[in-house]
Structure 1
Amino acid sequence: MDPLTDILTGMRIRQAQFTRLDASAPWGLNSGGESGVKFVLVVRGSAILTSASHPEPIALQGGDVFMMFDDEAYQMHDHESSLTMACVEVEKLRVGNRIALGGGGAATSFVSGLFQIDALQARPLLDALPRLLHLKLDQHRSLAFQSVLELLAVETEGPGLGSDAVVSRLFELLFVHAIRAYSSHPDAPTRGWLAAIGDRHLALAVKAMHGDPARDWTVESLAQEAGMSRSAFAARFRAVVGQTPLDYLTHWRVYCATRLMQQRNASLADVAQRVGYESAAAFNRVFKRETGLTPGAFRKAAEQESAAV
């Protein structure tokens, strides 16, 4: 199993919201930052985007998509001289899932979405992604990715029966295809597990670890999976991933353990064995070193957080 599939399996989108926004020049809006994954698809027209991490204006054209993965504030407008309206004020213009604003000039239409994902489940993914991901129309896209974008535009233009459920599923597909597009993008990271799965040798070792984290892996056995010598594999893995192979394995085992501990019927002893630790003491020691919490304290905190949602 490849790491992306492993991470996405079981990860579900919650509290999905979408808006069809029709803006006419002059217009502008600013968001103080909302928690969750945010995306905007420019259906037609153009806009300018700025954010705290990208103060230089980013030109958006019809077909472009941008996604944000934290609560960073951002601004969008038709021209840098246009006044911006706070999103809380823009919301007052909402009629159903549509909002219209602006001065009646050149038109720009967007589909914007906001959804929540389990931060724990998605942590390896969020750690590998930039705070702001901009995917231009003129960059290579798969037919499937483009089809999802077109379906979103159509579904929000003329909602039908079950539209909210359809759009929520399309959000999930958009999320996956955006990550795929980013992983093959020229600006994709050159370090980390996303970079490793783009390396034909290292990908074999990473997939092996993800497929069987409980196995008693050694650098030698992982090098065999990669079809490389031990020394060449160890050096290449550290250069690309930024960790030694066994450090990465430990990190992945602890992540797998956190997912298993969200299942109320899994005992801590069972979790320890399923991620490769023969003794609870060894598992407790490694888990606390990696997370700062004992497994028991972590599970209690996770249960409290789940009950509060």
Structure 2
Amino acid sequence: MDALSDVLMAMRTSSPTAARTSSRAPWGVRFCQTRAAGCHVVLAGTCWLVSDHGEPVALGVGDVLFTPHGDGYALVDQLGRPIVDYEPRPDDATRLDEMHIDGAGAVTELLCAYYLFDPARPHPLLADLPAVVHLPARAGQHPSLRSAVELLGSELLDPRPGTEAALPALIDMLLLYVLRAWLAEQPPDTAGWATALRDPAITTVLRQIHRSPEKPWTVEDLAAVAGLSRAAFAKRFSTIIGQPPLTYLTWWRMTTAARLLRESDASLRTVATRCGYGSEYAFGKAFKRAYDVAPGQYRTQRPT
């Protein structure tokens, strides 16, 4: 798998959800701060994004909005409308796909998706993203993203046999294409993961770390994979990724361990071995240092 695919698998902690909503003016809805990253696509009509991260943004048909950090924000049909909080309790029967607001004015239809990311170990890619990613609809731009929106919207509008199996993959595909579109729009000299995924040497190293976290990698080994001297590689990796190679390797091992503990019944010894630790004791110490709980307790909690 490539580095971006690995990142998406590592970040998400449960199945994503999506729905179509329909609102007739006048309306205004505030999505309160949460653990979930949100994605909205305007399918019909217009609306405004109102947040604490800049001036209001007008949204039209085809515009994509992604809020990766779970910050609160509001969507309104016109500026100045009264805003109602959308913050259902865990035991509330209200679902996103039941959020239809009746009024006498124009209709706005939205495709909405939500992703739960691990709050304890956010991936550095998320840190690179702004509070609000706005991808305006432009003719000929991001055709794959447009196709993903069309496929997902169609399944939600007209569920058919197999829809429940298709939806998680389509929602993940939507997130992938949103991130690809944002990364593609970053200037060539941008630091962080936008550069990392365009740098063949760094991408090759990330792929090897992700593919084989159990290997006893050294900086010299990784430099050889990159085809660079040790000093040149260490400086380049740290500058682009934001942390030294072995620090990232440890981060990825712990992230992989957490995913295995959440999603499999592999023994602690097996998890330790697959993450590059020769003993359960050494693995347990490293894991507790990263997550503040022992591996067994983390598994029992099964965070979702």
TM more than 0.5: yes
Match of 2:295 in 1: 298
Match of 1:87 in 2: 86
- State the one-letter code of the partner of 1:287: F
- Identify if the C-alpha distance between structure 1 residues 188 and 121 changes in structure 2 by more than 3 Å, giving closer, same or farther: farther
Moved more, 11-20 or 129-138: 11-20
Give distance in 2, aligned partners of 1:9 and 1:115.
Answer: 11
1:143-194 per-position Cα deviation (integer Å, ceiling 9, x unaligned): 3221111223334445555655544442222122112222222279944445
Alignment of 1:61-80 (within 5 A): 61-80=60-79
- Identify if the C-alpha distance between structure 1 residues 273 and 132 changes in structure 2 by more than 3 Å, giving closer, same or farther: same
- Identify if the C-alpha distance between structure 1 residues 246 and 140 changes in structure 2 by more than 3 Å, giving closer, same or farther: farther
Alignment of 1:189-204 (within 5 A): 190-204=190-204
Match of 1:42 in 2: 42
- Identify if the C-alpha distance between structure 1 residues 12 and 142 changes in structure 2 by more than 3 Å, giving closer, same or farther: farther
CA apart distance, 1:6 = 2.1
The answer on whether the counterparts of 1:8 and 1:122 sit within 8 Å (CA) in structure 2 is no
SS at match of 2:62: coil
Give distance in 1, aligned partners of 2:98 and 2:166.
Answer: 14
Moved more, 278-287 or 156-165: 156-165
Give distance in 1, aligned partners of 2:171 and 2:14.
Answer: 8
CA apart distance, 1:113 = 3.1
Does residue 258 of structure 1 match 2:255? no
- Identify if the C-alpha distance between structure 1 residues 198 and 103 changes in structure 2 by more than 3 Å, giving closer, same or farther: same
Alignment of 1:201-212 (within 5 A): 201-212=201-212
Give distance in 2, aligned partners of 1:55 and 1:23.
Answer: 26
Match of 2:269 in 1: 269
SS at match of 1:261: helix
- Identify if the C-alpha distance between structure 1 residues 94 and 280 changes in structure 2 by more than 3 Å, giving closer, same or farther: closer
What TM-score comes out, normalization by structure 2 length? 0.81
The answer on whether the counterparts of 1:14 and 1:117 sit within 8 Å (CA) in structure 2 is no
Alignment of 1:4-43 (within 5 A): 4-9=4-9, 13-14=14-15, 16-24=17-25, 26-43=26-43
Match of 1:176 in 2: 176
Alignment of 1:224-263 (within 5 A): 224-262=224-262
Give distance in 1, aligned partners of 2:188 and 2:205.
Answer: 20
CA apart distance, 1:277 = 2.3
Moved more, 161-170 or 277-286: 161-170
What TM-score comes out, normalization by structure 1 length? 0.80
Give distance in 2, aligned partners of 1:110 and 1:157.
Answer: 11
Does residue 149 of structure 1 match 2:149? yes
The answer on whether the counterparts of 1:17 and 1:115 sit within 8 Å (CA) in structure 2 is no
Match of 1:289 in 2: 289
Over the aligned positions, Cα root-mean-square deviation in angstroms equals 3.5
- State the one-letter code of the partner of 1:138: R
The answer on whether the counterparts of 2:65 and 2:132 sit within 8 Å (CA) in structure 1 is yes
CA apart distance, 1:29 = 2.4
Unmatched segments (≥5 aa) in structure 1: none
The answer on whether the counterparts of 2:67 and 2:131 sit within 8 Å (CA) in structure 1 is yes
1:240-267 per-position Cα deviation (integer Å, ceiling 9, x unaligned): 1111111111211122222233356433
- State the one-letter code of the partner of 1:81: G
The answer on whether the counterparts of 2:20 and 2:109 sit within 8 Å (CA) in structure 1 is no
The answer on whether the counterparts of 1:47 and 1:60 sit within 8 Å (CA) in structure 2 is yes
Same amino acid, percent of matched pairs: 32
SS at match of 2:102: strand
The answer on whether the counterparts of 1:48 and 1:77 sit within 8 Å (CA) in structure 2 is yes
- Identify if the C-alpha distance between structure 1 residues 7 and 241 changes in structure 2 by more than 3 Å, giving closer, same or farther: closer
Name the count of aligned residue pairs: 300
The answer on whether the counterparts of 1:70 and 1:131 sit within 8 Å (CA) in structure 2 is yes
The answer on whether the counterparts of 1:41 and 1:63 sit within 8 Å (CA) in structure 2 is yes
Match of 1:99 in 2: 100
- Identify if the C-alpha distance between structure 1 residues 84 and 200 changes in structure 2 by more than 3 Å, giving closer, same or farther: same
CA apart distance, 1:60 = 1.2
- State the one-letter code of the partner of 1:304: Q
